[in-house]
Amino acid sequence: MNFKKEIARRRTFGIISHPDAGKTTLTEKLLLFGGAIQEAGAVKNNKIKKTATSDFMEIERQRGISVATSVLAFIYKDKKINILDTPGHKDFAEDTFRTLTAVDSVIVVIDVAKGVEEQTEKLVEVCRMRKIPMIVFINKMDREGKDAFDLLDEVEQKLGLSVTPLSFPIGMGYDFKGIYNIYEKNINLFSGNSKKNIEETIAFDDLSNPELEKIIGNKAAETLRENLELITGVYPPFNKQEYLDGAQQPVFFGSALNNFGVRELLDCFIEIAPTPRDKMAEERLVKADEKQMTGFVFKIHANMDPKHRDRLAFVKIVSGTFERNKPYLHVRHNKNLKFSSPNAFFAEKKEIVDISFPGDIVGLHDTGHFKIGDTLTEGEVLHYKGIPSFSPEHFRYINNADPMKAKQLYKGIDQLMDEGVAQLFTLELNGRKVIGTVGALQYEVIQYRLEHEYGAKCTYENFPVYKACWVEPKDPKSVEFQEFKRVKQKFLAIDKRGQLVFLADSQFSLQMTQQKYPNVTLHFTSEFS
């Protein structure tokens, strides 16, 4: 087995979108192309439906499904493609942010009628900051929507991207005739039949050829020529290096539901998308083709069965090969661990594998050793960066409702926090525990899981916080910092990593604090060095 060849054939990516833009449908169509599933509908349940907000069993059931669909792998034209699932529901945004640390590129799906939506903005911002290569897919072209040029403008302005269309629609909605593939220089005619896997593609590199009129009609031919002229004038040509550097984002148009424009997207994707990228650790840059195995945990999933409290830790392999039964150093615990049944993921199932390569995700059974962000190596002390916590949006005190079960409660809270379900802050003043979450839904999930998995009961109490900020003093010994700690004691807490956090109760108090203590920096994420 050729190690370098294995790396070169891997593409590990995530699809991000606002809920309902078509992420699930697109995922499914990609899997169909890979021959990984036989029929549409197989990954349909891969999302937390809006109606599920207070239906615990539904949440549990969907958690189960999401284990199976956390990583979907398939082979297409000899490329091993790993799609990492990112929950679209905003209450699980933190989970999505963490998954983005494990992808090498992303595809952003946008609904042609709705344009850029809130969730897309947030997720793209994270990708932009990390310079993750992005391809944009404008979906639902079979429906009436925004003008393609207006939409490209919106993507540039709202998402701060630098786009260049690699395909362009011919008409839209009722009038949708197909797309011109700028990348491949051909026309794809839309039949509106989702069952047809291969659409009619006509090679067409000279658009002045009068054949165009015959194929799509006079009016559409004229408009297409004008549009393409405009594109050449306004947008820079596609530049692969800029795309890989996160400086340019190619755009495709299509309709996932109709399986239209998906093959073009996939064919271009496997050609241009990055192979497993090198990754920065605190100590040094680790190259994907280094022989020694390194990897990090980006997701932990609890077992659905309360009788077996083992969990599945998802490890992204950054370098080297991960082998079954070989000892690896768990850096945080300074302990060697062996894994007899590492799981690899395929379209609908997981299987024990003997060897995995950079870019792959392995699922390791865990009885409580792992935390999100943990690094595994062959002995080197490395810490992968880039799994920061963001300020939660909701904060509540958590109280023990059954004094006999205090131990279970704290163990449960501890493990749920390791999984990244929410963030725990311990107040400096009185040691009370505050749970911070991205969405209100998590409180119900925590309460339910504490009761069903740990036999503990809790209640919540409101704790008004505007934002959690991670504190970094210029000089920890300075009088200014000592005064900050004394005056703000009521608002200070320690997070799970032992970092000092300032819980500002209003935007005003945050601003006042920033002004009053200019040498104490307040960060909005936990990772700032």
389 close to 525: Cβ distance less than 8 angstroms:
yes
Q: Does 158 bind ligand G4P (CB under 6 A)?
A: no
Considering the complex, state which of residue 142 and residue 366 has its C-beta at the smaller distance from ligand G4P: 142
* Strand residue runs (E) in 338-456: 343-345, 350-352, 355-356, 361-366, 375-377, 394-400, 423-427, 433-437
114, 143, 365, 383: residue in contact with ligand G4P (rule CB under 6 A): 143
- Please state the closest distance from residue 140 (CB atom) to ligand G4P, in A: 4
- Which of 8, 19, 388, 494 is the binder for ligand G4P (CB under 6 A)? 19
Query: Does 20 interact with ligand G4P (rule: CB under 6 A)?
Result: yes
Q: CB pairs under 8 A, 24+ apart, for 424-427?
A: 424/495, 424/496, 425/395, 425/468, 425/493, 425/494, 425/495, 425/501, 425/503, 426/493, 426/494, 427/492, 427/493
Phi, psi of 187 (to 5 degrees): -110, 140
Of 24, 66, 319, 415, the one binding ligand G4P by CB under 6 A: 24
Nearer to ligand G4P, 256 or 424 (CB): 256
Q: Residue 390's closest CA among 156, 116, 100?
A: 100
Q: Strand 105-111 and strand 134-139: pairing?
A: parallel
User: DSSP E strands: which ranges in 206-334?
Assistant: 249-253, 279-280, 285-286, 294-302, 311-319, 322-323, 328-330
Residue 18 CB, nearest distance to ligand G4P (Å)? Answer: 7
The least CB distance from residue 156 to ligand G4P, in Å, is 22
For helices 23-33 and 262-272, the axis angle rounded to 10 degrees is: 80
Stretch that binds ligand G4P, among 140-148, 163-171, 404-412, 418-426 (CB under 6 A): 140-148
Verify binding: residue 167, ligand G4P, rule CB under 6 A.
no
Enumerate residues 38-57 that contact ligand G4P by CB under 6 A. Answer: 44, 47
List, in sequence order, every beta strand (DSSP E) within 158-210.
163-165, 167-170, 178-181, 186-189, 200-203
- At position 400, the amino acid (one-letter code) is N
Residue 21 binds to ligand G4P (criterion: CB under 6 A): yes
| Residue spans of beta strands (DSSP E) within 385-457 | 394-400, 423-427, 433-437
Q: List the interface residues with ligand G4P, window 253-282 (CB under 6 A).
A: 255-258
**Count of residues engaged in binding ligand G4P, rule: CB under 6 A:** 19
Q: Quick one: CA torsion of 120, 126, 129, 132, rounded to 10 degrees?
A: -80
Binding range to ligand G4P, per CB under 6 A, among 48-56, 134-142, 225-233, 346-354: 134-142
Binding ligand G4P by CB under 6 A: which of 10, 80, 140, 311? 140
Residue of 300, 503, 498, 472 lying closest to 394 (CA atoms): 503
Among 14, 34, 87, 88, binds ligand G4P (CB under 6 A): 88
Is 25 an interacting residue with respect to ligand G4P (CB under 6 A)?
A: yes
Q: Which residues touch 323 (CB under 8 Å, ≥6 apart)?
A: 293, 354, 355
| Residue 119 binding ligand G4P, by CB under 6 A | no
What is the nearest approach in angstroms of ligand G4P to the Cβ of residue 98?
Answer: 19
Minimum Å distance from CB 29 to ligand G4P?
9
Among 12, 17, 96, 249, binds ligand G4P (CB under 6 A): 17
String of contacts with ligand G4P for each residue 207-246, x by CB under 6 A: ----------------------------------------
**Nearer CB in complex with ligand G4P: 88/373:** 88
Cα–Cα distance between 244 and 261 in angstroms, integer?
Answer: 22
Residue closer to ligand G4P by CB (options 24, 400) is 24
- Minimum CB separation of residue 261 from ligand G4P in Å reads 9
**275: which residues sit within 8 A by CB, 6+ positions away?**
7, 8, 9, 10, 11, 104, 288, 359
Contact set for ligand G4P, span 314-353 (CB under 6 A): none
**184: Cβ–Cβ under 8 A, 6 or more apart, which residues?**
264, 267, 268
Does 437 help bind ligand G4P (rule: CB under 6 A)? no
Output the smallest distance, CB 82 to ligand G4P, in A: 18
Among 10, 23, 405, 449, binds ligand G4P (CB under 6 A): 23
Question: Which residues contact ligand G4P by CB under 6 A?
Answer: 17, 19-25, 44, 47, 88, 139-140, 142-143, 255-258
